[in-house]
Amino acid sequence: MLRCGLVTQTQWIKKNVDLKLLCLHIQDFLKEKGFDVWLDESLRKRVFSASLKNVPLPKVTVKVSGVPEDFVVSFESELKRNRRVRTLGSFLVMVGLGFFVRKELKSLEFYDELEREFWSFMDKMVSELADSVI
């Protein structure tokens, strides 16, 4: 797994995974977590945008690109772009904004846990779908 700034991504080589089937599983995973999911698909790239039902932001973006033998999956949460609350949290609490800090920290925890679950899910799916392309 590679962290590129705010995006975490993993590359799989020589797995020969049916990417359409993998994408269906990713879509189901996000829906099971309570997200509305939109798919933007091109020839070699599929981009999932997902947001919690009735909560337009923060949004999660999952990108799947490449070919069955060599593909990359990336995960990004818009909430990760705004991590200032962790560094400014003490100051904000002192000026009476502790409620907002606690709410933001809970959201960060939720998305951190979602990301951990997503990568565990991806490892399992890639193992199960290895050599699924004939």
Looking at 2.40.128, 3.40.50, 3.30.980, 3.30.310, the CATH number of the domain 2-129 comes to 3.30.310
pLDDT of residue 7: 78
Bridge partner residues of 15 (DSSP): none
Give the DSSP H or E segment for 126: helix 98-129
pTM: 0.79
- The most distant pair of C-alpha atoms in the chain lies apart, rounded to whole Å, by 62
Give the DSSP H or E segment for 76: strand 70-77
pLDDT of residue 15: 95
Burial of 48 (C-beta count, 10 Å sphere; 0-12/13-18/19+)? buried
Q: What is the mean pLDDT of each run of 10 residues along the chain (134 residues)?
A: 67 95 96 92 85 76 95 84 54 57 69 92 97 85
Question: DSSP state, 105?
Answer: H
